[in-house]
Amino acid sequence: MTKKKYGFGSFVGDFFGAILAVPTYGASLVMSPTARGLAGNIIGSANRAEIERLRKEREENDKKVKHNNDEIERLRAIINNPYSTDEEKKNAKRRIAILEDEIKQLKDRSKKIDNDIEDKSKTPSAPGKP
């Protein structure tokens, strides 16, 4: 039985050779179980971190939508107030239009984030056997 040759040791040869798909001199493209596990952990943790970042962004969008809805309610109260001036009502209507457009954009972004989270959740965390 011959021993495999690696550039900087078996871990470096297996790990970087498989991750970068560039074998070191004399190294096999087949990853050892240890290297496969380490690569899976690194990829899995990066994937989990990305999913967590997307979830936080989604929560921020939800907070902005809620804030904008509260602001729209306040502006509608100004419009319905008989003691509000015509200028106040006019400004409130303009602001409502802007806020509704912003809410629409935030909801579209939230849908995209949901799709990204779903796609990243489906992605396998560990590389398969070659």
Give tens-digit pLDDT for 24-60. Answer: 444 445 556 665 555 556 667 888 899 999 999 999 9
Q: What is the pTM of this model?
A: 0.62
- Residue 42: the pLDDT is 63
SS3 track for the chain: CCCCCCCCCHHHHHHHHHHCCCCCCCCCCCCCHHHHHHHHHHHHHHHHHHHHHHHHHHHHHHHHHHHHHHHHHHHHHHHHCCCCCHHHHHHHHHHHHHHHHHHHHHHHHHHHHHHHHHHHHHCCCCCCCC
Domain borders along the chain are 53-122
- Residue 8: the pLDDT is 46
Q: Is the pLDDT of residue 11 over 80?
A: no
Q: What mean pLDDT is predicted for residues 105-122? A: 94
